[in-house]
Amino acid sequence: MKPDSRPAGRRSPLIFGAIWLAALFHFCSTSHAAVSAVDDAGNTIELVAPARRIISLAPHTTELLFAAGAGKQLVGVSEYSDFPTEARQIASVGNSTQLDLERIVRLKPDLVVAWQSGNSARQLARLKALGIAVFASEPRKLEDIASSIERLAALSGSQQQGEQSASAFRQQLQTLRNRYAGRATVSVFYQIWPSPLMTLNQSHLVSQALSLCGAGNIFAMLPQLVPTVSIEAVVKANPEVIFISDEKSTSRAMWQRFPTLTAVKQHNLLAINGTLMNRASPRILIGAADLCEQLEQARQRRPIRP
């Protein structure tokens, strides 16, 4: 049969081979295309391809990466990265303030996700000097958590799951906003540690959650993100509610020594899960829902005025 008399619809093996090679080239070029995202320090992080070996340097960044769909790419995490349960099986690279740089380098990461205010600036600078891409994470608004998920998903090539997680977070956040809008303000002291006595200022996500629930942080205007305060300053401010997030059983007894304190008189020495509330992860909305509900109960305990 002559070449030009083949049955219609049939192609030679050479043509099929050319088509297959073209498709393979297109797949490789798109699946390994360069990716970029702007981190919370305002730096553009550029990778020649989506990250396949990622190290997380804080518990909240570990949770963000799993939410972004990048959990399987994690080859190292910081201590106390305990959620989700799969994170506990990943190699530790030290704690947030003291990292094992040698181990990090041996793991050959193509992306490190760092805690901007919690990790050592000196150690992060050394990683950058070695040519390792470092994404600085520091969500300061609740909306930043959704944005962080999307940006990390972009760097790890898991945009679809990242978009789904971010969308779910935004919907849950809006539901809480709608539910507690217009509530009467409650003054709050939020304790993260008893000795020295420590709290959080208005720049921290916890203050955002307090505002969401209709509460005011009595130390919102202090300049430090995590200020140390005195017991006397708390007593003078006389908050209506004291939230204890450090899980220390002695904290409640410490405040009960001041029976004239409004929070004590109205039985508003309340416990809150610090792991949920203090981490800038999607689970903060679980903690915020509990926070809002406990504040509703505190409002109901207000004395009835004649």
Question: What does the pLDDT read at residue 33?
Answer: 84
Any idea where the domains of the chain sit in the sequence?
35-171, 182-300
Q: Please tell me if the domain spanning 35-171 has the same topology as the one spanning 182-300.
A: yes
Q: How confident is the model at residue 14 (pLDDT cuts 50, 70, 90)?
A: very low
Average pLDDT, the chain: 90
pLDDT for the residue 304:
82
Mean pLDDT, residues 107-129: 96
Pick the CATH number of 35-171 from 3.40.50.1220, 2.60.40.10, 3.90.1570.10, 3.40.50.1980: 3.40.50.1980
Assign domain 182-300 one CATH number from 3.40.50.1980, 3.30.70.890, 3.30.450.20, 3.40.50.300.
3.40.50.1980
Q: Can you say how many angstroms the Cα of residue 118 is from the centroid of all Cα atoms in its chain?
A: 13
Q: What is the mean pLDDT of residues 137-159?
A: 97
Instruction: Give me the pLDDT at residue 97, please.
Output: 83
The pTM assigned to this predicted structure is 0.85
Taking only the tens place, the pLDDT of each residue in 191-240 is 999 999 999 999 999 999 999 999 999 999 999 999 999 999 999 999 99
d(CA 208, CA 218): 13
